[in-house]
Amino acid sequence: MTFTVNNEAHLRAQIIRRFGYIPYGIRVMTWFEFLHGFCFRPFLQEQLSSRGLSFNQPPSRIPRTNIRHYQDPAGRLYHR
């Protein structure tokens, strides 16, 4: 797991250089892919189907009872 896309590509290249491929059971991902795939989606899947994370500011004054408080129009969860 890594924080940046560049580091993800570098780590992936290092693994391929060592083994010739990405071995079964190894998944290279960024920190935000991990958060979305292993933290947010499993717990929210029944209530929200998300398509990733949004780093834009959410619209102000939307009540917490409205799904748009948590998701942008494309279905991405707001990163707060």
Of the pLDDT bands very low, low, confident and very high (cuts 50, 70, 90), residue 44 is low
Instruction: Give the start-to-end residue ranges of the domains of the chain.
Output: 1-47, 49-80
pLDDT > 90? residue 57: no
pLDDT of residue 41: 63
Better pLDDT: 36 or 30: 30
For residue 2, how far is the Cα from the chain centroid?
Answer: 12
- Other CB atoms within a 10 A radius of the CB of residue 24 amount to 6
* Rounded Cα–Cα distance for residues 36 and 49 (Å): 11
Burial class (CB in 10 A: 0-12, 13-18, 19+), 77: buried
pLDDT > 80? residue 40: no
**Average pLDDT of the residues in 15-34:** 89
